Structures are given as C-alpha cells and as structure tokens.
Amino acid sequence: MEFQVSARKWRPQKFGEMIGQEPIVRTLTNAISFGRISHAYLFSGTRGVGKTTAARIFAKALNCVNGPTPDPCDACLVCLEIKEGRSVDVQEIDGASNTGVSEVRDIIENIRYAASSCRYKVYIIDEVHMLSKSAFNALLKTLEEPPPKVVFVFATTEQHKIPETILSRCQCFEFKPLSQGQLIRQMKTICEHEGIKIDDVSMEEIAKSGAGSMRDAQSLLDQVIAFSGKEITSGAVESVLGIVGQEVLETFVDLLVQKNAAALLELVQRVVGDGKDLNLFCRDLIEYFRNLLFVTVAKKPETLLNIHTCDVETLKRQAQAFHPDQIQQAFQVLSRTEMEMKRSSLPQMVFEMAVFRLNDVRPFHNIDEMIRKIRRLESDDPRPVRSNSQPEPSIIPAEQAPSGQEPVSTGTPSPSSMGTDSIWENIKQEICNKKHHLNIYLDDCSLAHLDAKMLQLEFPDPYTLGLIDKEENIQIMKEAVKVVCGHSVEVKLSVKKKHKGVEPIQANSEEKKRPEDYNKPKSKSEAEIIQDALDIFGGTVIR
C-alpha cells in the first residue's frame, strides 16, 4: 500500500474530530442545525490549524444525502466525492495561482447554473488574499446578491490583505493556533496507532517546533520517524530538528551566573560545530529566561512553564542568582538578537556579540532612590570653614539665629555658593509638594537673588512669566520659603535680561564702521597716491 503522510492520513473528516477550534465548530454546526447558512464565510489563521479541513467538512455537511446535517455520514457518494476532491459542485480553487479577473469571471458564469448532484454549490478559495484588486472588485456584486444554493468559503493566512468591502460581506472566523498539549495528545495517538515508541521529552520538542500548527508537527514527526525508525529518542529529535538539549541551556545560564565569557564563547562554538541552528538556540534561550522570570514571580510556576521537562529546582536555583531586572534585560537582548540574526549575513558574530552584552547585564538603579541619595548628600555636604571664623550663610533660618539677634542679610550670595543652591533646591521641593505642576516652570527659571528679605527669580520669556505670576503661586512660594528658612520674604519675578556682546575696542578709538564702509577706499593725499603708482609701475616723476 502506498505510504500516506500523517497530515493527510489523520486529517479530520467530521466536525467532532477537529482539535482546538471548538467555538468555530459549534457556530458552524448550529448554523446548519438551525438552517441559518450564510452565503460567504472567511476562515483565517496561521498555517496548519484546520481552515481548509473545516471548509471541506462544511461542504460535506451541507450536501450529505442525510443533510444538511452537522454530522455527515462520510459514506454516501456525495461525501466520498467531496472527500476525494472529484465533486463537480464543490470546487477548491488556489487563489495564489488564479489571481486574475478572468478566473473570477469564470466562477461568476458557472454559479448561474444549479448544482448537478449536490444540494449546494460550494466554492472554496484558498489563500484568497492573493487575488488581485480587480478580481476582488469583480466578486463584490456576487457576494452581495448571490444566487440561491451557492456558498463561498474563503481561507487565508493574511486577513489584513483582504479589502474591507469583502470582509463586510462575509462571516469571519479566526482559527487560533493549537496549544502544545493538544499537539502532544494528537501525536501520542498517531504513535500508538503506528506502533512507534517515543518518550515525553521528544514529544514535547516536536510539539514546540510545530509552533501551534498541527500539519507542521505531523510533518516533523514523519521526518523523525524516518530518521529513527520505530523508537524515537530525544537525541534523534535534536539531531533532526537542529535544536539543543535542556542541559545545554542550563549550562549556558550557569556560565552567565559565573560571568565566564570565555566559556560562554566556547559553548557557542560547540553548538555551531554540532550543526545546531543558532536561531533556534536563541529562541530556546528566550523561552528559558521567560521560565526563569516566571519561577521568580509565580507561586506555582509549573502551571505557567511551556515544557514539562523543565527542572524547576534548577530554574529556582539559577533565578536566585539574578535580579528580575537582569532577567528582563537578558530577554530584551536575546529578542533583539534574534531579529538581527535574521537580517544579518553573519548571524554567528551577531550572537557572539550578544553573549558579551548578556555577560554584562546589571540590575537597574531605582531613580527615586538615587534622587533621595543625592539630596541627602547635598544636605549633609560639609562646608569649608575658615581657620578663625565661621562664614555667615546667605540666609540664617530663624530657629538657627543667635538668641537676641534678628536674622541678618549678608547681601547677594555668590551663584556658586553651595549653601544657596541647597536652600533653593529645598524651597523648590517644598513648592512642588504644595503644587506639583509648578516644577515644570521652576526648572526653566534661574535664581537671581536670595537673601533674608527677598527671593528673586528670572524666567526666560514673558509667556512663562505670565503663566506663573499669579497671586496663588506667589503665596505658595512665600510659604515654601517660610517652611525652609523659618521667616517670610518678598517674592519678585522678572524676565531674564539678554546681555549684548561686548564690542571690540578699536585702535585710535575709531567709531564702529558699518560693513559697507570696509569697501570704501580711504582718502589719501596726492603725494601718497603718486608714490603708490611709482611703487607699482616704476618710473620717475617729470613734473
């Protein structure tokens, strides 16, 4: 008997055999049961999830001799013809190779005639997004007012490429990718029926490589069976699929913990030398760091991990060596690296550079904590003292003033005075605590004067000054100064004066000349002009 691949041999023939698309199956079966059959359906989703299979089962359900029925017999002549692809009334068209208007016109011409042996004429157009714009436009009128007993079923992997005018005339169903567990259960059934021995680790690796596609997973299973025969091991799966084992991933992370860059590069060289795919290795590392993060934050990480073979204790041990920030940084580095490797002609070098970046990841510093530390250092910063006397601060807070004395102003403080800067920062902080959005304007202003009697601020332009020069804001500033310094001051706001550049001092105190004056010749005496001519042309004066 001729060999038939698993994807065809195990293709579902009834709605009840479909895996992972329960909401869609229920909607279609109810539509058949209640007689609410639409004239156009659109099945979208990734490859190998059952779009075309569902369309064929739907065609059988509509045309079975016992139907319309949600459960076609799959034994009558009509069902067998549809199953084998030789029904005249159920046509499956490849949109990728029939993209033009002429093919669509042929369909429109044929649907005018009634079905010959079936109840409904069904047109299944696969990869419908490949049709040209003109072909879509030719379909519009037919989809809006189709003849009776005609059903269109469109299938596509790229729904966004289909015009909105087509989508609005169809019932749209999104086929979701299959879970890893669903793929594993189906492959176990296939292996048991075929008499194949396979361990759980190998099954999980094949399912993970299937990436949610049943057809991809079944094709990989056929490939591994052809390589291994009746008994499949994890080593055989790794060799066929070009993936690395769990122990290699664990070793890689252990070396990261040790900050051993040389050993990491040697491990990468060994992976490449064994013929493994670096893109798959990078993808597996991304998933491994995802598992590390889940182990860190989840109470029961076993329910969140994609693979059952993860040594949870090993993950927990490794996760303790990382800060969550480091795990997230590593995840981002690897994600960017995976994209860069796909575009690069030297993917190995791209990955090796990523290894150095991974080896240097450090936890982020908390910005708020850093600001608090800086302010604490500023407030605790010792001031230089003179040998005989203590310098007077620009402002003496009331509670620190000597008994029996009034606070004394020392005049305008130096702009470079650390004491003044520190006091001004504290005043700004107090203002922001009372009215937070003032911080935006205070960042633009400059401190012009600060003493025991006055706080003067200068703003870059009249517009900014007008926004903040309000009685409410002035009062907040006065209160902030009183809280910080212990006494009240006047607040003066102004626009910063623009200083003009100093004019260069010209020799002989000549007035500044206009640009055009430089082109004017200087007036010379007649004797000077004659002497210049003699110097240039030579000769003697004869008169």
Q: pLDDT of 274-326, one tens digit each?
A: 888 888 899 989 988 888 888 887 777 666 675 555 577 788 888 888 888 88
Give the pLDDT of residue 408.
43
pLDDT of 504 > 70? The answer is no
Q: Of the spans 39-43, 204-208, 525-529, which averages the highest pLDDT? A: 39-43
Give the pLDDT of residue 350.
92
Which band of pLDDT confidence, cut at 50, 70 and 90, is reported for residue 524? low
- From the number of C-beta atoms within 10 Å of its C-beta (0-12, 13-18, 19+), residue 161 rates as exposed
Give the pLDDT of residue 319.
84
Residues of the chain above pLDDT 90, percent: 24
Give the pLDDT of residue 368.
63
The top-level CATH class assigned to 180-241 is mainly alpha
Name residue 492's beta-bridge partners. Answer: 456
Measured from the Cβ of residue 487, the count of other Cβ atoms closer than 10 Å reads 17
Which band of pLDDT confidence, cut at 50, 70 and 90, is reported for residue 506? very low
pLDDT of 152 > 80? The answer is yes
Average pLDDT value for residue range 164-192: 91
Give the pLDDT of residue 388.
45
Which band of pLDDT confidence, cut at 50, 70 and 90, is reported for residue 482? confident
Give the pLDDT of residue 431.
84
Which band of pLDDT confidence, cut at 50, 70 and 90, is reported for residue 430? confident
Among 160, 128, 122, residue whose Cα is nearest residue 39: 122
Which band of pLDDT confidence, cut at 50, 70 and 90, is reported for residue 526? low
Give the pLDDT of residue 170.
92
Measured from the Cβ of residue 66, the count of other Cβ atoms closer than 10 Å reads 13
CB 35 within 8 A of CB 28: no
Q: What is the mean pLDDT of the chain?
A: 80
Rounded Cα distance between 151 and 374, Å, is 72
Radius of gyration of the chain (CA): 41
Cite the residue boundaries of each domain of the chain with CATH code 1.10.8.60: 180-241
How far the first Cα of the chain sits from its last, in Å, is 131
Average pLDDT value for residue range 198-217: 87
Reported as a single tens digit per residue, the pLDDT across 255-287 is 988 888 899 999 999 988 888 888 889 998 998
Domain 246-360 listed as CATH 1.20.272.10: yes
CB 182 within 8 A of CB 20: yes
Rounded Cα distance between 414 and 417, Å, is 5
Average pLDDT value for residue range 418-438: 76
Q: Is 42 helix (H, G, I), strand (E, B) or coil?
A: strand
Give the pLDDT of residue 525.
64
pLDDT of 419 > 80? The answer is no
Average pLDDT value for residue range 398-427: 54
Phi, psi of 212 (to 5 degrees): 85, 0
Residues in contact with 253: Cβ distance below 8 Å, sequence separation at least 6, in sequence order: 288, 292, 318
CB 139 within 8 A of CB 167: no
Domain 6-174 listed as CATH 3.40.605.10: no
Q: Under CATH, which number does the domain 422-495 receive?
A: 3.30.300.180
Query: What letter does residue 543 receive in the DSSP assignment?
Result: -
Cite the residue boundaries of each domain of the chain with CATH code 3.30.300.180: 422-495
Average pLDDT value for residue range 452-462: 84
Strands 454-459 and 446-450: antiparallel
Give the pLDDT of residue 512.
47
Cite the residue boundaries of each domain of the chain with CATH code 3.40.50.300: 6-174
Reported as a single tens digit per residue, the pLDDT across 349-376 is 999 999 999 888 776 665 666 677 677 7
Which band of pLDDT confidence, cut at 50, 70 and 90, is reported for residue 205? confident
Cite the residue boundaries of each domain of the chain with CATH code 1.20.272.10: 246-360
Measured from the Cβ of residue 224, the count of other Cβ atoms closer than 10 Å reads 23
Query: What letter does residue 44 receive in the DSSP assignment?
Result: E
Which band of pLDDT confidence, cut at 50, 70 and 90, is reported for residue 541? low
Average pLDDT value for residue range 382-408: 46
Q: Given the structure tokens 């902080």, which residue do they identify?
A: 429
Name residue 93's beta-bridge partners. Answer: 125
Give the pLDDT of residue 41.
95
CB 1 within 8 A of CB 131: no
